[in-house]
A and B are shown apart, each in its own frame.
Chain A
Amino acid sequence: MHDMESLEKDIEEIMAAARQYGLDHRDMHFEICPPEVLYSFGAYRMPTRFGHWSFGKAYQRIKTEYDHNLSRMYEMVINTDPCYAFLLQGNTRIQNRLVIAHALAHSDFFKHNAYFARTAPRTVLESMTVAAGRIRNYEQAYGRERVEQFLDAALAVQEHVDYHHSPGTGRRYPAGESASHSKNDVLGFIARFGHGLESWQRDILAVVREESLYFRPQLATKLCNEGWATFWHLKIMHHLELTEEETVDFARMHAQLVQPSRLRVNPYLLGLSIFSDIDRRWGRDTVFEARATCDDPGLLRNYLTEELVRKMDLFVFRRIGYEWRVVEKDWQTVRDTLIQNLFNCGHPYILVETGDFNGRGELYLKHYYEGVELDVHYLEKTLPLVHRLWGRPVHLETVLEEKEMLFSFPGDKVGKRLI
């Protein structure tokens, strides 16, 4: 256990080191939480948010992983101003020092990365709390089940927002139909033009949309942000004076964090490698520039080199029959595959074609196909949820086996046909 007094001293020391290196974090609030509380923040991604069973599911997963010792959450940092960092109660002193250094770098990233420019970190906690209260009231007024079913549907399309439009403008749309409306803001389009939505339902859609916009930059910069924080906790920890035992403990923790996996790219490892490489080749100024201007695809496009791909032994694999096999090792293919998988935060691009298909107010969505097909089972389960929001028949155009297909849900069952 780490006592309060030495914790405060450590924070001061680490902050001084961070400043010396040129990190510019927001004012910090560190809060020490027991595991259950930290995990619930992890599940909701924020300390206060509306309720939904999917967060309970996420909590269950985090807790199980902890119980089975699969992974352990030591901290959580959120994009607020002042920046909140939640430390796991029971962390050792060395664990805390590592996560404090890590948290300061996240805070610096939130403050300086361009993609976070419009995330309203000063007011987000309050607006989420207020929204959660409103949704609770809707549960009272319209019934828990109705609200839950509506949220199920709203969350099914939460990724399809246009994050080039800043949050806060969410509730105002131009008066005309789609002409001036952003095509990839599916959620906003439904909120604005959906048939028969009651005002509480429109409000829920607006809440989901704004929160999605708030989280979007974090999803778009996971590799950058974790790489950045890992790069700096390594520098800062080397700067501190550690006993031999502490050095060993620190090395073990760090090694766990950057452990490579054959089945997925470890963002801590890949991000750290890229930032270290930039530092070595172009110097510290370029490192800071990359953290200010890049999202994940940008970082990979600009800074993932042939040498790095070879050094980390990255490869492309896919399923062949019932096995997963290596299919490519060419560095440019590796890079392009990584970028493609992170494109649009890993979600398919879905655009609104029209809200008046067939001249009957039907919603026509189009999947912008880039070579990877949609999961048809999920698609057939999601369309009825979109219908629940839109209130009239819904359609989705996509490509299956190189043929253009139209999936439709008129209200009873999903049909599909060639176009």
Chain B
Amino acid sequence: MKQFTVGHEDWSLHRKGLPDQQRHREKVRQAIREHLSDIISEESIIVSEEDRVVKIPVPAIREYRFRFDQGRQKQVGHGGDGLEIGDMVAGGCPPALSGKGAGTEPGSDYYEAEITLDELSELMFEDLHLPNLRDKPRPQLVTESVDFRDVRKRGPAGNLDRRRTIKETFRRNALKGRPGLQKFTPEDLRYRTWNPVRRPESAAVVLAMMDTSGSMGPFEKHVARSFFFWMVRFLKTRYDNVEVVFLAHHTEARETTQDEFFSRGESGGTRCSSVYRLALDIVAERYSPRQYNVYAFHFSDGDNLASDNDLCVALAGQLVGVSNLVGYGEIEGPYYYTSTLRSAFKKIADPRFVTVVLRDKSEVYSALRTFFRAGPADEVGPDA
């Protein structure tokens, strides 16, 4: 008698593990969300190309239980090449030999997760928005979403509208004089279908202003660039038509392209008033506050020419007057200055002027959240 059978089922519909894989991924995403501030300022992400998959360190989702302290447990290994007492086996942490078989417990608490820049942006920007956005006569800013509000007889199976389908079955059976829920036929099937909804929003311009003077060291530049990198990404992800203008300055300010803005470093002294003046000129010439929501973000190490401070405060005050929000980010580098610009800016007491201090690259994320969260309580626009 044959003692065996062989099967070769069609396994293509076997998707048993999917919900659990999905759930685990959700937990990983949650862990990423909780560690965003550490993750997003990684140099490898900032320099990555648009749609690349990036690798980020994610804390492993642990399954807690009572277990031995693996650092204290003695373990056994195979030598093979005559290791003697006192010889080093390894520098890292070896996975314990557990009863569950090799490799069940993760060797380290972090592992590399792969995520696309888009996914990462989505996690970061879920609840961010341009604050104080107001209606302007030139509708240019468009957000797109989908709305399920139509029902059709054909559609993808995933969109089957069960309630309506059952109603149809009842109706057809009732018409035939045999009311009840029996015999679904293809013509009973109803599918939900969607329409894209485009909501016109007001036009907006964002002025990205960065100090590129000699006192901006590699750390300060990295922090400023990280901020602007994510800011541009955020604006592009969320808004269709927001315009971004890049302004770089040392003692003089000039408008640059996006690539230049992110790549070049300059030297020389610092006169911050130059960039505020340029910003005001550009707003006056090209972006009338009547038609545009104006935002300006300036990043600097705060090491400004002392004689320039008063002028700077005056111009920044004017800029606030025509803007929905002006943000100033000061990066406190390893060499601590008794900051000049930030303390000078304390004179501007307008809820539309927001200052943040960044001491560590992980604070880029909180700066983003400060600037792009709900704005000042009173929703005041510029005096237009």
* Contact A30 B4, beta carbon cutoff 8 Å: yes
Chain A positions 131-175 with a Cβ under 8 Å from a chain B Cβ:
148, 155-160
Chain A positions 1-42 with a Cβ under 8 Å from a chain B Cβ:
4, 7-8, 11-12, 15, 25, 27-34, 37, 40
Q: Does A414 contact B (CB under 8 A)?
A: no
Q: How far is the CA of A159 from the CA of B90 in the complex (A)?
A: 30
* Proximity string of chain A (374-398) to chain B, C-beta cutoff 8 Å, 1 when within and 0 when not: 1110110110010000000000100
Residue from A30, A54, A313, A315 within 8 A of B63 (CB atoms) = A54
With CB as the reference atom, state the residue of chain A lying closest to B74. Answer: A318
Assuming the contacts A326-B84, A382-B65, asked whether A345 and B72 have C-beta atoms less than 8 A apart, the reply is no
- B-chain residues with CB within 8 Å of residue A346 when the two chains form the complex: 96-100
- A-chain residues with CB within 8 Å of residue B137 when the two chains form the complex: none
Residue from A8, A12, A60 within 8 A of B21 (CB atoms) = A60
Chain B positions 5-30 with a Cβ under 8 Å from a chain A Cβ:
5-9, 11, 14, 16-17, 19-25, 27
Q: Does A55 contact B (CB under 8 A)?
A: yes
- A-chain residues with CB within 8 Å of residue B87 when the two chains form the complex: 325-326
Q: How far is the CA of A324 from the CA of B102 in the complex (A)?
A: 18
With CB as the reference atom, state the residue of chain B lying closest to A65. Answer: B103
* Contact A373 B65, beta carbon cutoff 8 Å: no
- A-chain residues with CB within 8 Å of residue B82 when the two chains form the complex: 313
Residue from A25, A314, A338 within 8 A of B79 (CB atoms) = A314
- A-chain residues with CB within 8 Å of residue B78 when the two chains form the complex: 260-262, 265-266, 269, 312-314
Q: Does B47 contact A (CB under 8 A)?
A: no
Q: Does B335 contact A (CB under 8 A)?
A: no
Q: How far is the CA of A98 from the CA of B62 in the complex (A)?
A: 36
Q: Does B157 contact A (CB under 8 A)?
A: no
Q: Does A219 contact B (CB under 8 A)?
A: yes
* Contact A37 B11, beta carbon cutoff 8 Å: yes
Residue from B5, B14, B79, B98 within 8 A of A262 (CB atoms) = B79
Q: Does A56 contact B (CB under 8 A)?
A: yes
Interface centre among A28, A220, A375 (most CB of B within 10 A): A375
Q: Does B175 contact A (CB under 8 A)?
A: no
Q: How far is the CA of A379 from the CA of B5 in the complex (A)?
A: 47
Q: How far is the CA of A313 from the CA of B82 in the complex (A)?
A: 7
User: Would you give the shortest CB distance from A124 to chain B, in whole angstroms?
Assistant: 17
* Contact B90 A262, beta carbon cutoff 8 Å: yes
- B-chain residues with CB within 8 Å of residue A15 when the two chains form the complex: 3-4
Q: Does B95 contact A (CB under 8 A)?
A: yes
* Contact A318 B72, beta carbon cutoff 8 Å: yes
* Contact B17 A55, beta carbon cutoff 8 Å: yes
Q: How far is the CA of A158 from the CA of B64 in the complex (A)?
A: 11
Q: Does A348 contact B (CB under 8 A)?
A: yes
Q: Does B91 contact A (CB under 8 A)?
A: yes
User: Would you give the shortest CB distance from B283 to chain A, in whole angstroms?
Assistant: 50
User: Would you give the shortest CB distance from A60 to chain B, in whole angstroms?
Assistant: 6
- B-chain residues with CB within 8 Å of residue A52 when the two chains form the complex: 20
Q: Does B349 contact A (CB under 8 A)?
A: no
Q: How far is the CA of A29 from the CA of B9 in the complex (A)?
A: 12
User: Would you give the shortest CB distance from B326 to chain A, in whole angstroms?
Assistant: 43
Assuming the contacts A220-B99, A324-B88, asked whether A263 and B94 have C-beta atoms less than 8 A apart, the reply is yes
* Contact A317 B74, beta carbon cutoff 8 Å: yes
* Contact B75 A381, beta carbon cutoff 8 Å: no
Q: How far is the CA of A240 from the CA of B249 in the complex (A)?
A: 79
Q: How far is the CA of A338 from the CA of B96 in the complex (A)?
A: 12
* Proximity string of chain B (153-181) to chain A, C-beta cutoff 8 Å, 1 when within and 0 when not: 00000000000000000000000000000
Task: Report A's interface with B, CB cutoff 8 A.
Answer: 4, 7-8, 11-12, 15, 25, 27-34, 37, 40, 43-44, 48, 51-57, 59-61, 65, 82, 148, 155-160, 219-220, 222, 260-267, 269, 312-319, 322-329, 334, 337-338, 341-342, 344-348, 350, 367, 372-376, 378-379, 381-382, 385, 396
- Show 12 A/B contacts (Cβ-Cβ < 8 Å), sorted by A: A27-B3, A31-B8, A33-B11, A53-B61, A56-B20, A59-B20, A60-B21, A315-B77, A346-B99, A376-B69, A382-B65, A385-B64
A267-B101, A324-B94 known; 17 new pairs, CB 8 Å cut-off, are: A4-B8, A51-B19, A56-B22, A263-B95, A265-B97, A313-B82, A319-B72, A319-B93, A325-B86, A337-B76, A341-B97, A344-B99, A373-B72, A378-B64, A378-B67, A382-B64, A385-B64
6 shortest interchain CB distances as A-B pairs:
A345-B99, A346-B99, A260-B78, A56-B24, A313-B79, A263-B94
